[in-house]
Chains A and B, each alone.
Chain A
Amino acid sequence: MKGINKLLERIGRGVGKVVGAMYQAGRDSVDQVIKNVLPFMAFISLIIGIILKTGVGDWIAKTLSPLAGSLLGLVVLSIIIAIPVLSPLLGPGAVIASIIGTLLGTQFATKAIPAQYALPALFAINPQVGCDFIPVGLALGEAEPETVEIGVPAVLFSRFVTGPLAVVLAYFASIGLYTK
């Protein structure tokens, strides 16, 4: 009898733990969607709506698409964004990357830019990722002040090299993607 009781208790506890974890996970993800994702969707929708209706979209299609629809253009884009003085300014909240990504997205949708450029484009819009956050990120890793002093320029300079490099790498990694 005691054995059965113990078994039942253990099952009950296990189920409780799993159900609790899943319920909390659901609550967390709904919270995240309401607090972070939906507001951003509203903001992005507003921008897309204005672009579609005002004809800015046609202008983008004519000027930006040829740039984003070639390897050279994407490399140039990534180099500009990765300039060590610019990159920390373009970083915050990934807002700039999201906007450029969404603008390019409208061009991918109309096939003004061929879809096989999607992967290099994802890297081209994002060489500045986290450049605004280096001191805080290092502090979270319990780095000494001397490390932060060297680490900030080290990461910024590194991006200037690895940003364009990532685009080229992604270009060759898209061979065979969306070709037909």
Chain B
Amino acid sequence: MQALATAAEWFIGLFKAGGETFVGLVTGIIPLLVILMTFDNALITLIGPEKIDKVGEAAGREGLIYYPIRYMILPFLSVFFLTNPMAYTMGRFLPEKYKPAFYDSAVSYVHPPLGIFPHVNPGEYFVWGGIATGVEQAGYRVSDLAIRYLLIGLVVILIRGIVTERITAIMSKRSAASEQAAAS
């Protein structure tokens, strides 16, 4: 009987620890999250998300200076204003050859802003929140990490965009060549 009670206590203890963690997360994260998301959402409605269409139209042009527009500014604005998953619809303004690279770039930016703009992807908050909570518990200031994640994220998506654009170009050339070989 004694052993059974001890086992039961241990079993319940698992969930008690979970419950304490839950309360910590709810009181520590939710209040800020709700208010911040309310502000972001209101801002988006008042500015009007359709305003970024013009950036989309400009981003499809050839030339070196359009790389940062296509793979940094456009993904940032799309993710900020349209959020995950509607951000990817901005690809419709680009020529076909840039679409995979733009998707790669935009989808890679749905987590880096989470520390400062949680409205972009609240359902996947813990990709950022797991590590951030730990760092906070260790006694560090999380905003330092949040801002670096946001900025380095921009550099990473630019590199991803450029690399994926190259790979797409090589692959489409190869598939065109093999089609020709098959035809002749």
Are A and B part of the same complex? Answer: yes
B-contacting residues of A (Cβ < 8 Å)?
17-18, 21-22, 24-26, 28-30, 32-33, 36-38, 40-42, 44-50, 52-54, 93-94, 97-111, 115, 118-119, 121-123, 125-126, 129-130, 133-134, 136-138, 140-144, 146-147, 149-155, 157-159, 161-162, 165-166, 169-170, 173-174, 177-178
CB-defined contacts of B18 to chain A, threshold 8 Å = 45-50
A173 to B124, CA, bound (A): 24
In the bound complex, do residue A52 and residue B130 qualify as a contact, i.e. CB atoms below 8 Å apart? no
Q: Known contacts A102-B130, A123-B156; is A174 also within 8 Å of B168 by CB?
A: no
A165 to B119, CA, bound (A): 27
Chain A CB within 8 A of B155 CB: yes
CB-defined contacts of A129 to chain B, threshold 8 Å = 107-108, 110-111, 127
In the bound complex, do residue B91 and residue A37 qualify as a contact, i.e. CB atoms below 8 Å apart? no
In the bound complex, do residue A108 and residue B138 qualify as a contact, i.e. CB atoms below 8 Å apart? yes
Q: Known contacts A21-B46, A49-B19, A126-B111; is A133 also within 8 Å of B85 by CB?
A: yes
CB-defined contacts of B151 to chain A, threshold 8 Å = 173
In the bound complex, do residue B41 and residue A122 qualify as a contact, i.e. CB atoms below 8 Å apart? no
Q: Which of chain B's residues 93-119 have a Cβ closer than 8 Å to chain A? A: 94, 96-97, 99-104, 106-108, 110-112, 119
CB-defined contacts of B14 to chain A, threshold 8 Å = 49-50, 53-54
Q: Which of chain B's residues 107-142 have a Cβ closer than 8 Å to chain A? A: 107-108, 110-112, 119, 122-135, 137-138, 140
A4 to B14, CA, bound (A): 67
Least Cβ distance of A101 to chain B in Å? 3
In the bound complex, do residue B130 and residue A44 qualify as a contact, i.e. CB atoms below 8 Å apart? yes
Least Cβ distance of A125 to chain B in Å? 7
Chain A CB within 8 A of B66 CB: no
Q: Known contacts A44-B126, A105-B131; is A130 also within 8 Å of B42 by CB?
A: no
Interface residues of chain A: helix, strand, loop or mixed (majority): helix
Chain A CB within 8 A of B144 CB: yes
In the bound complex, do residue B135 and residue A29 qualify as a contact, i.e. CB atoms below 8 Å apart? no
In the bound complex, do residue A28 and residue B130 qualify as a contact, i.e. CB atoms below 8 Å apart? no
20 A-B interface contacts by CB (under 8 A): A21-B42, A25-B45, A26-B41, A41-B29, A45-B19, A45-B25, A48-B21, A49-B15, A49-B16, A53-B13, A97-B111, A104-B134, A115-B135, A125-B131, A126-B111, A138-B103, A143-B100, A151-B100, A153-B171, A177-B148
A29 to B119, CA, bound (A): 8
Least Cβ distance of A30 to chain B in Å? 6
CB-defined contacts of A150 to chain B, threshold 8 Å = 100, 168, 171-172, 175
Least Cβ distance of A89 to chain B in Å? 16
In the bound complex, do residue A101 and residue B128 qualify as a contact, i.e. CB atoms below 8 Å apart? yes
In the bound complex, do residue A40 and residue B123 qualify as a contact, i.e. CB atoms below 8 Å apart? yes
Chain A CB within 8 A of B26 CB: yes
Q: Which residue of B lies closest to A17 (CB)?
A: B46
Q: Which residue of A lies closest to B119 (CB)?
A: A29
In the bound complex, do residue B131 and residue A165 qualify as a contact, i.e. CB atoms below 8 Å apart? no
Q: Known contacts A37-B123, A109-B138; is A162 also within 8 Å of B34 by CB?
A: no
Q: Which residue of B lies closest to A102 (CB)?
A: B130
Q: Which residue of A lies closest to B22 (CB)?
A: A45
In the bound complex, do residue A154 and residue B130 qualify as a contact, i.e. CB atoms below 8 Å apart? no
Which of B15, B34, B100 lies in contact with A138, CB distance below 8 A?
Answer: B100
CB-defined contacts of A122 to chain B, threshold 8 Å = 111-112, 127-128, 131, 145, 149
